[in-house]
Every structure is written in structure tokens, then in C-alpha cells.
Amino acid sequence: MGSVVSTLRWCTPSLGATAGLSSSVGFTNTVSIYTGGGYKLKQTTSTCQSHDAIPAQQHICIVSETYAPEINGVALTLARLTEGLRTAGYTVSIVRPRQRRVDPPGNVIDDSLTLVRGVPFPGRRGIQFGLPAAGLLLRQWTRHRPDVLYVATEGPLGGSAVRTAQRLAIPVLSGFHTNFHSYSKYYRVGWLQQLILCYLRSFHNRTAGTVVPSSDMREQLQHAGFTNVSILDRGVDSQLFSPARRRASLRAQWGLADDDVAVLYVGRVALEKNLHVAVDAYRAMQRSGKPLKWIIVGDGPLLPLLQQQHADIIFCGILSGERLAEHYASADVFLFPSETETFGNVTLEAMASGLAVVAYDYAAAHLHIRHEQNGLLAPLGAARAFVDAASRLVHEPHTRNMLRRNARRSIVGFDWQRVVKRFELLLMDACTPVVRPERALATPDPKPNAMEGRI
């Protein structure tokens, strides 16, 4: 009989709880590996507090291939979560690739930041794959052990982090932030979609749970075989993104008077963002004969082609902070035609800025927009309906103004503090061990799941 490997996790009360030394309740996770007919046993243990008694200095480590000051939804979300956790009293350390523009040369390894080598992500300027760093992480986490990991990206760095954490019996929560498998059809490699999805499923199912930003994304992943999927919504800084930042001087630079219509897109300028639909929508809006301009904020591989083909569009490049907020607030209509979002933070930023949003009915738009009340929705994939909705906002100024007012009112309560508290609970729940049947001790499965027992 060949050797078999099976992973078991169970819990017992921690010493502090059983001996009455602490009022908190903790758990000890034991990971056991059985091999061959003799069932050779190897055990490692870790203790994690339950979320009803969280120590102030509990250590959370976030691993990501992208992080601020890089500008994308994943990096900005992680920066917000990190800031919130630290404000709440947690110790938060970051593992990420070195960013040449901001990081000093040489190794940087301390209790709050570990930098690893990275290589450019094909077709995504400024984004990197973090290279595997199992040895470095093993040394760092042995010296300064996290209580729980949050692995936000599924690249080589994320994979080595999950394997190292399993070796050290550190609980891991993973985040599904990007629909990489959906991108393949936009780059003529649609045949890779199922292969990529298979890899992503294997990656996430090796962790204690996977976090997604919306219910429809959770349903998609569960249907695809992902297990233990939880929802973590997103927030918006409604003080930064506010109609109060509207600038007549900026609109004048765009060649627009106060009553003219400024149409905005903010995001990556790439094929997977479906921008040809926004181009069609803008041209339909122009046929009204009313004065309007389309402003695009962002960068990406499609930018040179759009600049060449559409000289009348205003391209502003990448913006952040107050400059970005001023561009939002100085516009009137926000077009977001992407069909590949896991969420779409820009939808919330546009609503908080008082824009009339046109988007497909999924992800952030599905959660926060009520059709004809605080925005306009088109069925997912219905390009004609999207174009018609955008054109309507030029012909119906009263509708446009009503949607702008209601958008702001409906979103101001969705702040990041609420999201951080939910994130805390998910991280602590990741520490709760999984109980397997006792019969597994006596009768190991001769054909274990390929995702089990990897330490």
C-alpha cells in the first residue's frame, strides 16, 4: 500500500482558559500528517484567540503582490484595511514586492515590512509578481510569528506564503480581489479560463476561507467549487469624495460651462474594462447636440490606441488624493462599462462625489444602485441598454440631477470603519479550527484530496 497524506485540524481550550489564568478563550490548532501504513505522526500547534476576547497587540500579517502607493483597487483597499486595523490596536505587518520608485535598495526586513523580489506582470505596467520567498518567510515568521495571515493575491508570493503558513500552522484567510480567469477572453486566450479558474480554486481552498466583496461573486465562486466563501463589502471616504470639491476652473479647462455635461471614466485603460461600450455611449450622447466632454482618468495598454482614435477625449493619466476627488466632483455622469469586476470601488467614489452613474447590474452597482432612483443600471452584457441609459442622461437633465443628489445621499453611510470591523471578525473566525471526523484517525483516506496535507 502506497503512502498517504491526510491533514487533520481540531481544537482544545488553550492553557489560559482551562487553568483559569485568563478570562479570554483561545484555541490550539493541531496539524497532523500521517504517512504510510505505520501512520507516522508529525504535529505542530498554534494558538489563536477567539474574537470575543481579542488581545490589543494581536499580530496580523498581510501578504500581497500589490500595495500602496501603487494605484489600483486591491492596493487601495489593503491600505484602508491596514490603517483601520492599526487604529484598532492590532500589530499589522506587510509582505510585498519591492517597489523601485519608493523603496531603498538592499534588503528591508523588520517587524512591520518584508520586501521580496518581484518581476513585472505582463501587460500591467507598475504591477509585479512577487517571487516565491518561502525561506525568507519561514525565518521571519519563526522570529516574529503572526497570529493570522491575510493573503490578498494568488501569485507566486501568495502561494509560498500559504505553504509556509501551513508549515508553521498559522491560520490563513485569502482574498479574491481580481477576476483573472475572466480576463483571458479579452486577450485571445479564452481556452485558459478554466485552467486559471482551477488554479485559483486550488489556491483558495487550501486556506481557512476566502473573502469576496459581493454576494453575486460569492455565488459564482461557490458554484465553481470554492469553499468557505465570506463577504467583505467595501467602503468609501465620503469626506474626500464629495460634491464640495467641484471646481469651475477645472471644468473651464475641459471647455465646459456649468450647465454642460462632463462625462467621466476612472480606472484601468485596458481591454478587460470593456471601454468600447463607453465609447459607443459617448458618441450616442454627442448626437444630442448638447455640449459635453468625456474625461478619462487612468492608464493602461489601451491608452495609446484611444488617444490616436479619439482626439476629442480628454486623457488625464493617473490621479490620486484630492486631485482625483476634484475630477470626480467636477463631472456630472460616470460611465462604468466593465464586466469583469469583483467589486468596482470607483462606483462608490463616483456616487459619493454626486455623479449619475451608468453601470451594469452586478458587483458594487448591484449592491448600491437602485435603478432610476440613485443611478441607472443595464443588464450585465446588454451593451445596447448601457448606451441607451447613458444617452438618456443628456436628454433628461432633471433625471440626471435627481440621480446625482440621491447617489450622494445613499452612499455616505458606507464608511471604511464598518468594513474594518467586519474584516476583524473574518480574521478571527479564520483562527477557528476545522473539526474532522474521528474515524479519519483510524482509517486514512487512501486517495486524499490533492489540496490536503500540504505543509
For residues 370 and 414, what is the distance between their CA atoms, to the nearest angstrom?
Answer: 16
Q: What pTM, to 2 d.p., does this model score?
A: 0.80
pLDDT one-digit tens code per residue, 86-100: 999 999 999 999 887
The answer on pLDDT for 33 being more than 70 is no
The answer on pLDDT for 344 being more than 60 is yes
Q: Name all domains of the chain by residue range, CATH numbers in brackets.
A: 54-235+418-428 (3.40.50.2000), 243-411 (3.40.50.2000)
The answer on pLDDT for 112 being more than 70 is yes
pLDDT one-digit tens code per residue, 204-259: 999 999 999 999 899 999 999 999 999 999 999 999 999 999 999 999 999 999 99
Average pLDDT of the chain is 83
Question: Sorting pLDDT into bands at 50, 70 and 90, what band is 40?
Answer: very low
Q: Residue 236: its pLDDT value, please? A: 97
Q: Residue 22: its pLDDT value, please? A: 31
